[in-house]
Amino acid sequence: MIQPSGDSVGIDDLSVYIPKLFLPTAGEFSFARDIDPAKLTKGIGIEQMAVPDGHEDAATMAAMSLLELMKRNEIAPEEIGKIYIGTESAVDEAKAMGTYVIGMLEKIFGQGSFQDCSTVEFKSACIGTTLALESLSYWAAAEDDGRVGVVVASDIARYPFRSSGEYTQGAGSVSLLVKRRPRLLSLEPDFGSFTKDENDFFRPPGAATAVVNGKHSNLCYLNAVTGAFDAFAKKALWRGTISLKEGECPVDHITHLLFHIPYPRMVEYASAALFRHCWKGLPRWKVIEAEIGTEPQPSDYPSFDNFSLAEADFAKSFARTRLFQEEFKAKVRDTTLISRRVGNIYTGSIYLGLASLLELRKLLPTERVCFCAYGSGCSSLVFSGIVQREAGSLPPMNIERSLDGRTQILLEEYERIHEGQMEKGILPPSREFALVSIDDQGYRHYDYLE
């Protein structure tokens, strides 16, 4: 990243909006789907799914989180130069969702108050917001008129009934304030990427729900993240951002690891794959082998299927080793706090991990936070940031208190919302943006309702 002399660029603050409705995964839902509730709450790690009400969509959620960010930081519209939105839940095939968002915010701040602000929409599955952040950080570094930028993630994860993805659904929005001399995280200059054409997850034109090839998608995720991390590490070592001593690897210089969170258990799989990848060849690998034996090799098995089974068993054994569990608990586990009660929010899930660390007051000055973003199809981007001295001064978001105040809905209500069969919402809109109508041309009309 090109930065002005003496200035850093990064994330100054963030805000989170989660819908007011939720459905527990255990109980009615698990019974109706004939699933052991422990598989959902412990096996994949999702206890509750956030459900958008009938008047909500990705645009209203984006407007809500951005409004909260502006209020938290007393930002006027004229101080915002760009609003970049990452989403795969776009409400229009051509018009940028950010224009709808600006239209909603002008209901509060006045007509034309955002006219000197540009907006664009990033679509690249679950990595869209991260690519938006990378792009906006370059603009913020070069901008010389004092204005700030905002990156907004907003998505509704929706899958067919009784599909393997249904119980990972969620909805929400995260807004990131990006500027020079940030209070929260100063981004470091090394970005590592990985891209490959894959069919692990996609949504054909006109389809309401995505096609998911589950096991293949998990494999694509792991391969992409380790590939992008290698690219990141190579740049960090070349630039001197990270310097290794004998017996060390780059992950030793990271305090917190954030991953895309389609479901919390996937974060454990991803971190296990990354630590295993980084530790091989180091002295500590002998400790691993003493505990679980040596890695399987293709040449030791009569077929690839036999090797694959042995490889899967070794991966499970590695995830149970003492060394990995210690690192996982110290660097990764706390990032899933909020996602357990929200579910997957696609492009914003990795930033719910950052919000979780803030909620738990886990971020301390000079710590390095590493983001391992993934988007199906497939792409990964890995980058890092340093926690700033002012991070502890940010006002609390009280996200858990907000989650506690949500309304639990019945399975039948969830299914009607899912299929668009609700004539009106469960809860009447109150102090929030709402979709009020769609006209004969298909144009969406929004308002702020008291």
How many C-beta neighbours within 10 Å does residue 367 have? 17
CA dist 69 → 12, 76, 151 (Å): 11, 11, 11
Domain 9-449 is found in CATH 3.40.720.10: no
185-187 vs 379-387, strand pairing mode:
antiparallel
Question: How far apart, in whole angstroms, are the C-alpha atoms of residue 166 and residue 80?
Answer: 37
Return the residue matching tokens 């700033």: 388
Residue 367 to residue 185: CA distance in whole angstroms: 9
pLDDT tens figures, 264-312: 999 999 999 999 999 999 999 999 999 999 999 999 999 999 999 999 9
Q: Examine the pLDDT at 2 and tell me if it is beyond 80.
A: no
**Does position 30 have pLDDT exceeding 80, yes or no?**
yes
Is beta strand 80-86 parallel, antiparallel or unpaired with respect to 48-51? unpaired
pLDDT category of residue 214 using cuts at 50, 70 and 90: confident
DSSP lists the bridge partners of residue 51 as 21
Q: What is the pTM of this model?
A: 0.96
Mean pLDDT of the residues in the chain: 95
Helices (H), 122-213: 128-142
DSSP characters over 313-338: HHHHHHHTSHHHHHHHHHHTGGGGTT
Q: What is the pLDDT of residues 220-265, one digit of tens each?
A: 999 999 999 999 999 999 999 999 999 999 999 999 999 999 999 9
Question: DSSP class of residue 392?
Answer: G
Contact 370, 256 (CB under 8 A): yes
From its phi and psi, is residue 340 left (phi > 0), alpha (psi between -120 and 50) or beta?
alpha
The stretch 42-56 carries a mean pLDDT of 97
- Residue 292's Cβ-count burial label (10 Å; 0-12, 13-18, 19+) is middle
pLDDT in tens, 300-344: 999 999 999 999 999 999 999 999 999 999 999 999 999 999 999
* 159, 183 contact by CB (below 8 A): no
Task: Please list, in sequence order, all residues whose beta carbon lies within 8 angstroms of the beta carbon of residue 34, skipping any fewer than 6 positions away.
Answer: none
CB atoms within 10 A of CB 300: 11
**Mean pLDDT, to the nearest integer, of 418-429?**
90
Domain boundary assignment for the chain: 9-449
Among candidate residues 158, 136, 134, 162, the one with its CA nearest the CA of residue 147: 136
